[in-house]
Structure 1
Amino acid sequence: MGSASVGAARVGAAGATARAAVRPVPPGDEGAIGGGRSGRGKDKSKAAKRRRRTNILTAAAAVLVILLGAGVVGGTYFFDDVDLPPPVTEDQSNVIKYSTGATIAKLGEQNRTVVPEAKINKVVEHAVAAAEDKNFYSHHGIDMKGIVRAAWNNFTGGATQGASTITQQYARHAADLKAISINRKLREAVIARKLESQYNKDQIMGMYLNYIYLGEGRYGIEAAAQGYFGKSVLTPAGQKGAITPYEAAVLASIIKQPEPDPSGGHKGYDPNYNLAAAKDRWEYTMKNMLEMKWITQAEYDARKYPKVKPVTKAGSSKATSGPVGVVMRHVRAELAEMGISQQEFDKGGLTVTTTINPAVQKAAEEAGSRKSETSPMHSKPATYQASVIGIDPKTGAVLGYYAGDDPNGLDYGGYMDGQTLKITGGQSPGSTFKLYTLAAGLKEDISFKTTWDGTKTRPNGKKISNAGAEDSAICKGKIKYCDLEYSTIKSYNFPFYWIADGIGREKVIQAAVDAGVQHMFPDKGDAIDLTKTNAATWKKNFDNEVAFGQYRVPPLEHAEGVATIVNGGVRNDTHFIKEVRKVDADTGKVTIIKGQKSAGKRVFDEAQMSNLQGVMAEIVKVDDRDLKGGRESIAKSGTWEFNGGSGDTWFVGGIPQLAATVWVGGKNNKVELKDGNKDMFGAGTPSKIWKKFLDASAAAMNWDNEDFPKRVETGNPDSPYANGQEPPPPPVQQTDPNQGCVLGFIGTCDNNNGQNNGGNPGNNGGNTGGGNPGGGGDAGGGGNTTFPTTQGD
């Protein structure tokens, strides 16, 4: 009869944590049933003869005990002393998928998918019985002839043998019986009999099929069927894609010895490693299937050895070798939030569909990774690092996430520790944080037309820095009455400091929290969870510089806040999991543990957000980052200094379908960032990454060219919070009532028909190229339509 090796299968105590597989031992050793004699010669000394005689007598006694039956399985003390272990809950892998359904990876110590026996194609069960134990459905769990033969050989110097039935093989696994001894064999037999009295044949077969090792890192019959043939054993016979009798026989024939003997012995029965032996074993299995009438004569006569899939390299999954692997720690964190413990995750059996779209993920990686030859980062030093985060603003789903190339390294997007899943760091957002200051200011009825005094110093007398720009260069010399819109586009700091000072910096922080920022780091110490602290704590730990991004935040949380603004003030919780499914191993019932998160919450006024979006649209134009095809986008740049240069640089914003947040900074440690010989600003490399990411994503997803809502100007231009000085009155000019010309210029009034505004710096507002309908130069009423390219943030 067929015999089996279970030496290759994972051996573990009932309910124990999974351990690495125990690889096959050479035929002839325990677990390699039917193997030949051991290679050692007999010791012919008198002492050895006496030992052999003793072993023979012991073996005979043991065999007698077994044969008597009543002594072992009929109620003796030995029978009663052996407990029936509970069925082993087999550890299995978790399948992680893209939003499209394609598999990202299988996570877990063992590539196993537990399946319900009732739904397994019967031809598979019959093939396994034919290969391993053709009398499985008729015996009572014990092969008496095999036990006698094994006991005799083991005690008389012959090959150590198992001769186990399928029930005995599972009994050995369930009870963690590993020692090679007659006592183990007796216990195995007792447990097998008890299993047969507790469970029916189908149940035992199901437990066995979910436990066995079938080579190439595959545990259980489903993983083997998927791995060798790309099929499921759950597909009913006769349906398209169902396992055929010939394929089932291949799988069953592997069980005897799934892998080559590492010491150079038998090469096993995996057709990818030993096709000749695999075919011989397959013929044996097919013959037994015919003999037991599990296949017809016609099926047997038509047999043809099926082609199996080639070996795949272990660990080649993108999740263990590429940037998408960093996503896995966020998946685990969200599972914990759903109530799925680490223990349950390790147990496996989950199918997690993430929000990650493969096309958007590819775009993020190609835009942000130095390894990508088309990335603006490719030519940068190895000490530079970028993160690129793409979020669907309408749902909060993370569609693309590049946070580093090492899945086990630092998460430059969320700064989530891979072991503790805690937030460990962040980066200073610089002027991109002004979006929250503006949201807070708009809520307090501050208009973009308000003017602000850039010469006013802090209460301690310290000057407010504006990226090192001289006062004379700020606002085209109108630093004392610079309007908020132009200040936002040019990214001056002084209006934002005074907004925070006027309305209270806690309101700026509250706007950031409302948008999605949860953690912020003070100058010294650990992160403060803003959702679990109050305004008093915020005022104690953060100064007015929060208004223009001094304090570090995790880029992923900032990306959620950016998505809220891109979505017109409706916040959706950022998430990486779309759906979690679990199959009940007993019933096959699929349970959806968690679906995509609920609808968003409006946190900012719609009209105020359209006002802010309108200004952000101008930034895209100024920084020359228009997207392909005239696609409308909004953005904000940001930079925070380091060693007198740039240490953190950002470009954030997006299109209606995708909010994009890009950070560039130092890898591991801060470095002074350069674009060529000049300091890097957000409007440099980060904006190029941002544009490349959005262009590629929009093209790959075939998104419509969607516009943002029409701008609605809100707020009070005369807000009491504004501190801009009154602009000097225009010079008093006398005119000739008869000619309508300025006195002193009679005779030249008709020159160029009055079209010399663009070239005469003495004219009112002439240096704007006629593009300032509000008058008063660059800062006249916030009506600017053209701006010079920004030199900083």
Structure 2
Amino acid sequence: MGRAEERRARQRGGHRAAPRRRSGRAAGKNDGKSFIRRLFTWKKILGTFLGLCLLGIGGFIVLYLVIDIPKGNALAKEQSNVYKYSDGTTLVRDGEVNREVVDLAQVPKKVQRTFVAAENKTFYKDSGVDLKGTARGLLNTLSGKGKQGGSTITQQYVKNYYLTQEQTVTRKLKELVISLKVDREKSKDDILAGYINTSYYGRGAYGIQAAAQAYYRVDASDLSVEQGAYLAALLQAPSSYDWAVASETGKQLVKERWNYVLDNMVEQGWLDSAERQGMKFPAPKEPTAAPGMEGQNGYIVKAANQELARQLVAQGSASDLEEALTKIDLGGWTITVNIDKKKQTRLEKAAKEQLTSKLDPDEREVDADVQAGAASVDPKTGKVLAMYGGVDYVKHFTNNATRTDYQPASTFKPLILAAAVDEGAETQDGTPITAHTIYDGDSKRPVVDDGEKVGFAPPNEDDVDYDDVTVQTAMNKSINSVFAQMGVDVGMDKVMEVAERLGMDAKDLQSVPAQTLGTMGASPLEMAGVYATLDNHGKKVTPSIVASAKHKDTAVEMPDPIGEQVISREAADTVTSVLTGVVDDGTARTSVRDNPARDGQQVAGKTGTSDENRSAWFTGYTPELVTSVGVFGEDPKTYAQSSLYGAGGEERVNGGGFPAMIWAEYTFGAMGDVTRFDLETDQGAAVQPTRTPSRTPTQTPTQEPTTQAPTSEAPTQTPTQTPTQTPPQTPTQTPTQTPTQTPTTRPPDGDITLDPVEPGEEE
């Protein structure tokens, strides 16, 4: 029947025969496909999309009608920070907000445009918002990926002046609506003026006038285009890009952004290309301290801010250190530090009496290069009880207690022994490594691994051969060749792993034998934490400066400075036992052992002196107090590392000299009752009867050893490591040894970046 006939049949009331039904399985399958097709038709998808768009538009219209431009409140909210000692007395009140609003007409036109070129080239043409950037920021906020990027100058001004720095969807939506309204109601010049007057530039400076004074000692009206471009570049990361404290990476990044700003100005026709080519980077002046930040106050405040900022990032209150530091600088915080006022005073006095009072730059030019840093930690609580950052925060901005660009030298050697005992390591011939294990102490003895030379043969100080010595004697005399071999016996990967667990930032360092001589960078605070973990029987101690921090009614929960067991108690206590020998029969005996103020106090510690005498260390401890002292050579003009030879009238600055003298003056004055170590180790007394070596040294060392360039020449003998007897220690004062490589500076987020350490480089 054709279609026409069928139609006529229906009209007459007839019908076609029903088609045969398909099998149930086929029919069900077809019904499923039909259901999906009916559910997801293109009409329904398009309709849903249009509906959502209309809903979004409707919601935005409602927001636009409901949200008004609020009254500017940023100035009213900014307050001082208050810092208190552990006893509750005020350490310092971090000044009032440093801001002076200037009219845009007072800022040179080209300087104005450096900010537009840096942040928002379309500023003079756009409607005040960047929809793509805002959408990206909303998605980042919803997904927890951090702060938004791509905001216009208008949006940033709104955030600074009308809203807050919090990263929430509500705040971002308000920012979008208010920015649109502000752009309609205010001129571009008014918005730009508001932006440069409310932005934070670092160094406590809010607004372009304060920034011009802080960085160049001029008024905003006298800024050059080059200087303006630096201030504009600075806004992206004021703490990281401050030339005075920036790492090498930070300096490179801010220079790149400075060039970016000027190139954009040429592109926009605001700057002549010939004029641009002749411009040189305008390095800003050294910072000046705010009132109340003189002396040690500024060092303590900045260190506390850094620690608090790290915690704000860790708990999600800020997306990165830059944002966290900005939040702290906005004020309103009450921060109590763990610094003990009496111990702080004693540490400052010790540094003055034992070092700075003995320096005379007029008589000895090298004395102007001497810097000192120290940190003192309670090993049971992890509290930083005292800190010495330098002679004066106003005169030397860098905190010598927290800087990480100098080698810790032989103060690293105890960590190798800790790894050996903790890992149950053995010598090449299978002898367990203990305090009594015998090693060949000859100078330039090639290090071997499984019978093969590894291309590293460090000399001892004065190229002295010590013949067979115990590990105890090797620690007392700081014998390079012994610890280089021990590091390979343990496995350098294991050594660096244990160093990381103990508190050194060693995760990115190469596991090469030269590291056994302390070629990485470290700070006195870091080394104090490492030795505090040893003092605390292997339970991790992370030095903590901040006791508590409150912002208005909200308290920040600070982490517990005492962590888990990171090495065995046997390993930690063995190292402590051995380190008492360094004090009583080694490189620190003159300054510490024989100090009349000691009064029987038991002490463990290690000296260290780096290549070319650029740094000297003493890190020591009693059962109640751990203190690390470093003396560093720094050219006051270039800030490059320099040698300490001749400083203070000494032929050479050793770890057993000024650093140990500062340590002893402070520690023996700060301690209470005489205490003894509670050690659980059967690996030996630190001081034993002396004997004459079986082979007389080629010459008698007179100074604490450093490391000269290790050789890679073929070995003339195989290292002797099989103990046939347990020889006692030989009490001869000898200097510390350490390798030559100068570490690179770490970035501001605390992450260390070092160039590879190659065998054959000096300490």
**TM-score, length of structure 2 as denominator length:** 0.49
Structure having the higher Rg: 1
Higher RCO (CA 8 Å, separation ≥ 6 residues): 2
**TM-score, length of structure 1 as denominator length:** 0.47
Higher helix share: 2
